[in-house]
Amino acid sequence: MKAGVITLFLIVFPIYCFASQKTVVGYYYFWDRLAFPYTNIKYSNVSVIAHAFIVPGQDGSIGLESGATWQNFLYPELIALAHSNGVRVVVSAGGWGNSSGFSSIAANGDARAKFAGNLKEFCLQNGYDGVDIDWEYPKSSDRNNLVQMIRQIRDSLSSTGKNFSVSLAVPSYLSSSYDYSALQNIVDWFGVMTYDYHGSWTPHSGFVAPLYDPLPSTGCTDGSVSSSLNEFIQNTAIPSSKLFMGLAFYGYNFQSAGLYMPWTGSVPSVPYSRIIGYEDSGWTYHWDNVSKVPYLTDPSSTHIITFDDTLSIKLKCEFLKGKNLGGVIIWRLGNDYSNGSQPLLETVWKDLNEVTAFHQTMSNPVYGISLENYPNPFNPATTILYSLPAPGQTAVMIYDVIGRKVARLVDGYKNQGVHKILFDASFLPGGVYFVQLTENGRAVVKPILYVK
């Protein structure tokens, strides 16, 4: 190198961030088939569909919810399209209000055998890939019988020589009604129902599925997703790969003056597809930075809706990966469907399973490409700083979590040096976004957090 001449070496190489494969289980409630037909499911974003619910009879028979017929329930088109996309379909038995027959079945050897045989034949005849048991909820006196029932179901399905799965939905708290040590050797996964921490059964309003516990000063001790899953991890021997986090694609509308305050009237459930329109009707978006979930308040401050959005879902997925859990269960598919998009489902899959390749630049620290923003998180605007090692064609774009371009900030020739631009996100919903700086074919990507 000659004196007086500065030579700049830019090394551009791709860094690939691989996410280990996580299982995404979406519950498909059979009554939804008219409003959300099988053709609307985004099969590329789900691993397993749990078709819910068949109802166990006390004698081991299989039936349906009141008012339903087998013509309502059986859905061969769903199974065929799922299989053609490499997605498994399991049948889910029980559910809230449909579980009264389980205790009698589990306690009686003949009923257990009949139930296990009926489930096997039902799967074989209708093309299902396994059985999900959603017993809400066994008593402590059912503990040993539950193990025997699940083992008999497993043995019956295994006798076919087919790769059937057996899974078990469990409450968000550890219960003496479950022999987790015995069950973990039988089931493929435990779907921990980490939602419904608040609702019509709690004396005060609160979050459907807070990621973290609220502050003690709130007086709320109803728990959170993280505290529930940490309890399972720390106090059972269940492999983390068999623990699945529950995700709620709905919220609750409390007639209440604020969080953790008494409510009156009823507490209706609201699907996410309806919640996203409330802001356009004058409701105000808030972010709780302790529990890491959003909520809405109406203009009169008499109603509050607690729910999950793309940001809180992403943070839960990050928690899941940090704990190396096996996947998620979602209640329920279609609740986020709007204008052909399923933003919550797409966020889950993208965060858990997509392989992302970013081109990152190594260079002289003075003249190299850099990309920063402040503040971060921000509301509603942030300043983006970027530096270029040489003049050239430059673009700065903003993308949402499912890869859609939402803003074009720069697109043209820029000189070498440091540049500054203000990004006002007030036209967007709160959530995680990505800034992409492209310079002469090289690109740098940075996540930013808009807290609305």
* Domains located in the chain, CATH noted: 16-356 (3.20.20.80), 364-450 (2.60.40.1930)
DSSP string, 149-186: HHHHHHHHHHTTTS--EEEEEEESS--TT--HHHHTTT
Cα–Cα distance list, 143 to 19, 134, 172, 193 (Å): 37, 15, 17, 19
Residue owning tokens 């990004």? 423
Q: Could you tell me which residues are beta bridge partners of residue 297?
A: 284, 304
Task: State the average pLDDT over residues 47-53.
Answer: 98
Structure tokens at 152: 């008999």
Of the CA atoms within 13 Å of residue 272, those in its CB half-sphere come to 27
Residues sharing a CB contact under 8 Å with residue 237, sequence separation 6 or more, in sequence order:
180, 181, 184
pLDDT digit string, tens, across residues 280-304: 788 988 889 899 999 999 999 999 9
Q: E strands within 316-355? A: 327-331
Residue 333 is predicted with a pLDDT of 98
Q: Tell me the average pLDDT of the chain.
A: 90
Residue 401 has pLDDT above 90, yes or no: no
Residue 358 has pLDDT above 50, yes or no: no
Residues sharing a CB contact under 8 Å with residue 412, sequence separation 6 or more, in sequence order:
393, 394
Kindly state the greatest CA–CA separation across the chain.
Answer: 92
Structure tokens at 249: 């694609």
Residue owning tokens 């088939």? 33
Q: Which of 137, 232, 238, 143 is nearest to 184 (CA)?
A: 238
DSSP state of 324: T
Of the CA atoms within 13 Å of residue 260, those in its CB half-sphere come to 14
DSSP string, 81-133: HHHHTT-EEEEEEE-TTS-TTHHHHHH-HHHHHHHHHHHHHHHHHHT--EEEE
Q: Which of 21, 133, 134, 32 is nearest to 78 (CA)?
A: 32
User: What pTM value is reported for the model?
Assistant: 0.78
Structure tokens at 325: 């859990």
Residue 286 is predicted with a pLDDT of 87
Residue 324 is predicted with a pLDDT of 95
Report yes or no: 152 and 131 within 8 Å, Cβ to Cβ.
Answer: no
Residue 20 is predicted with a pLDDT of 61
Q: How far is CA 38 from the centre of its chain?
A: 20
- 383/78: higher pLDDT: 78
Task: State the average pLDDT over residues 230-249.
Answer: 98
pLDDT digit string, tens, across residues 6-30: 222 233 333 333 346 899 999 999 9
Burial of 176 (0-12, 13-18, 19+ CB in 10 A): exposed
- 368/193: higher pLDDT: 193
Length of the chain: 452
Residue 122 is predicted with a pLDDT of 98
Give dist(CA 43, CA 328) in Å, integer. 15
Report yes or no: 98 and 57 within 8 Å, Cβ to Cβ.
Answer: no
Cα–Cα distance list, 105 to 274, 303, 394 (Å): 40, 43, 68
Q: How many CB atoms lie within 10 A of CB 215?
A: 11
Residue 164 has pLDDT above 50, yes or no: yes
Q: What's the start-to-end Cα distance of the chain, in Å?
A: 52
Stretch among 255-259, 346-350, 357-361, 373-377 having the lowest mean pLDDT: 357-361
